[in-house]
């Protein structure tokens, strides 16, 4: 499970830079229901306290919200990788307890 700590820290720094370039973010889903759908053409839905909340959107709001949701998903992916890197660094660079066998990637949630 040994990896190069310098490369791992360099990857972490790149991820930090990526975070700083992230634009507006929002969770939820947007859909273009198309004309004649019997309701608003553009819609944003999300869960709030276990309930689904839907909002009608203008075309401009739809485009902006779609971009914000894409950014949110990328942000979540970046944060997940940063968590993995943090665990790798902690368990490889700091003193550990004596173990009969090394911790697996599954135990450290690295895979």
Residue 64, judged by CB atoms within 10 A of its CB (0-12, 13-18, 19+), counts as: middle
Q: At what angle do helices 5-20 and 59-93 cross, to 10 degrees?
A: 160
pLDDT of residue 43: 93
* Residue 23 and residue 71 in contact, taking contact as beta carbons nearer than 8 Å: yes
**Whole-structure pTM value:** 0.78
Give the tens place of pLDDT for each residue, 43-88. 999 999 999 999 999 999 999 999 999 999 999 999 999 999 998 8
The angle at the Cα of 41, spanning 35 to 45, to the nearest 5 degrees, equals 150
* Residue 74 and residue 22 in contact, taking contact as beta carbons nearer than 8 Å: yes
């Amino acid at each position: 499970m040994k990896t190069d700590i310098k490369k791992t820290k360099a990857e972490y720094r790149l991820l930090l830079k990526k975070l700083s370039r992230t634009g507006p973010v929002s969770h939820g889903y947007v859909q273009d229901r198309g004309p004649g759908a019997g309701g608003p053409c553009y819609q944003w839905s999300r869960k709030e306290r276990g309930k689904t909340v839907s909002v009608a959107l203008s075309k401009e709001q739809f485009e902006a919200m779609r971009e914000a949701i894409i950014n949110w998903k990328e942000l979540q992916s970046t944060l997940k990788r940063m968590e993995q890197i943090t665990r790798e660094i902690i368990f490889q660079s700091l003193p550990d307890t004596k173990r009969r066998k090394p911790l697996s990637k599954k135990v450290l949630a690295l895979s």
